[in-house]
Amino acid sequence: MTAALVPRHALLALAVVVVWGTNFVVIRLGLDHLPPLLFATLRFTFAAVPGVFLLRRPAVPWRELALYGVLIGVGQFGLLFIAIAGHIAPGLASLIVQSQVFFTIGLALAFTGERLKAIQLVALGLGAGGIGVIAAHSGGTTTLAGIGIVLAAAFSWGCANMVQRRAVGIDMLAYVVWASLFAVPPLFVLSLLREGWPAIAAGVAAAGWTTWAAAVWQGVGNTMFGFGAWGFLLTRYPAATVAPWSLLVPVFGMGAAAAFLGEPLPAWKLAAAGLILGGLGLTLLWPRLARLWLTQEA
């Protein structure tokens, strides 16, 4: 594997984080008319169809695809959409959900028996401090419930990462497409139970072309392109080379929310972003920096 991204792959990584970051504005537009769980159902429907008829099923057990699909579909995006639909500002959601990095590391430590390093404790402390700053300023468009729901979505994303990492040597685009099949039924059932058929029918009736475009973009742009391209990069470069690019997601997320939704960027929000991104940066970049320092010392 190559240590650094070649220019065309760097542009691909940049395109992915731009799509993922600005996607929080697209989510907000879709939720203007569609109930959150129905919107999530449509997202994974468009991600699965027609892809399952074009891509061969990846050589992984059905239970792996099902588990990943439910964790990503219901756990991550189902909860995330519920949170953005009135519980938290989209820009802040794009920031808090990146705590999946901490959950992924914590789960890896729990299941591999590794010990937490001192630098990881510092990183977790910075991330927790950032969440604390946001919680202290909850109210209005951001509530404690919204923060909790997004953290639960991030935890589910971390669990999904643990499942996906077992799919070594697999076409990640096909993996995501086929796993999306398993996200659709539980999301639709939950939408019927929680939101009800009248709200579903009213949402579909009120949806215009921008709402449907947002739903299609969720499936095709954000899921198929985003996760497919990310998987492409991860199969060609070390994770430590690719993962730090995810630090740009909340940068584009908060910037797009401010530009297109008028979401304010007060000092406390920038401080929270600095703490969380600082923690993520230490977590993702420290191994490389430590190796570089040891090399120079030698």
pLDDT in tens, the chain (298 residues): 445 678 898 899 899 989 998 999 999 999 999 999 999 999 999 999 988 998 999 999 999 999 999 999 999 999 999 999 989 999 889 888 888 877 877 887 777 666 667 777 787 788 788 888 888 877 677 888 999 999 999 999 889 888 887 877 888 889 999 999 999 999 999 999 999 999 999 999 999 999 999 999 999 998 888 877 887 787 777 665 677 777 788 888 888 988 998 888 889 888 988 888 888 777 767 766 666 666 665 5
pLDDT in the model for residue 291 = 66
Flag whether 1 is in a domain: no
Residue 225 domain flag = yes
Which residues are bridge partners to 142 per DSSP? 139
- Structure confidence at residue 78 (pLDDT): 96
Is 234 within a domain?
yes
- How far is the CA of 85 from the CAs of 42, 61, 202, 225, 238, in angstroms? 16, 35, 16, 25, 36
Interatomic CA distance for residues 221 and 23, integer angstroms: 9
249 within domain boundaries: yes
111 by Cβ neighbours in 10 Å (0-12 / 13-18 / 19+) ranks as exposed
* 19-22: long-range contacts, CB 8 A cutoff, minimum separation 24: 19/221, 19/222, 19/225, 19/226, 20/222, 20/226, 20/246, 20/249, 20/252, 20/253, 21/94, 21/248, 21/249, 21/250, 21/251, 21/252, 21/253, 21/255, 21/256, 22/252, 22/253, 22/256
If one counts every other C-beta atom within 10 angstroms of the C-beta of residue 105, the result is 20
Give me the domain span that covers residue 130.
Answer: 7-297
Residue 207 lies in a domain: yes
Q: CB of 12 within 8 A of CB of 85?
A: no
> Rounded distance, CA 142 to CA 277, Å?
19
Residue 178, domain member (yes or no): yes
Torsions phi, psi for 173 (to 5 deg): -65, -45
**In Å, how far from its chain's centre is CA 250?**
10
At 207 the three-state DSSP class reads coil
* Count of structural domains, the chain: 1
Residue among 120, 72, 115, 114 nearest 281 (CA): 120
Q: Judge if pTM exceeds 0.95.
A: no
Is residue 81 included in any domain, yes or no? Answer: yes
Q: Say what the pLDDT of residue 284 is.
A: 67
Let me know if residue 2 belongs to a domain.
Answer: no
